[in-house]
Structure 1
């Protein structure tokens, strides 16, 4: 059951971020996106390069999660993006708050699943080779 929940969480996050990243390229290229982006979210990206960087990172992390490669790295890279998504929907745009909470729960589950990997980052004195 533990492994099934891990795979479901990983695949759901991968699909969501791959889709959101690709959708963001439609916005960047001024095409009609298949999922409309809220004006509040677009206001945060005054500079186009920030949107390109975030959407590229979302696509890369989505592919890594779907391929089951470098999953802890993808989870770590998605942490600030998910934090911004949750904060945006809590304070500015409540329309997709349930999706933001679902993303947060999936992400927290993957963080817990890989807790031993991340705890090594918090060692005060890392082992000397």
Structure 2
């Protein structure tokens, strides 16, 4: 991908972004957009909280959730299933279930490891089972 931007547009974009991130500097012609160390720590904390809120549900399940998922998938070992993950769907026969992953054999013969923490739901023989 190629992006063509002239210097004036880039400067306006960066100044607008700086006004959003650092509203105290809004209206000033020139400023340094590097916050003090304390402000940086606060920004990091806020970003972490927002990422956790946005992706916490799919980031990691509790150990009990993972253990139940492991036991359920292990009971269906050898059967063809579709695992739905945030990245997409993986389909294949369940070869093995480890402590934190499941290994599927796709129709082309490829083995795929899927982390149990990333399994949102799975479908087996037309039956939908969700975590």
Question: TM-score, structure 2 length as denominator?
Answer: 0.25
Higher helix share: 1
More strand by share: 2
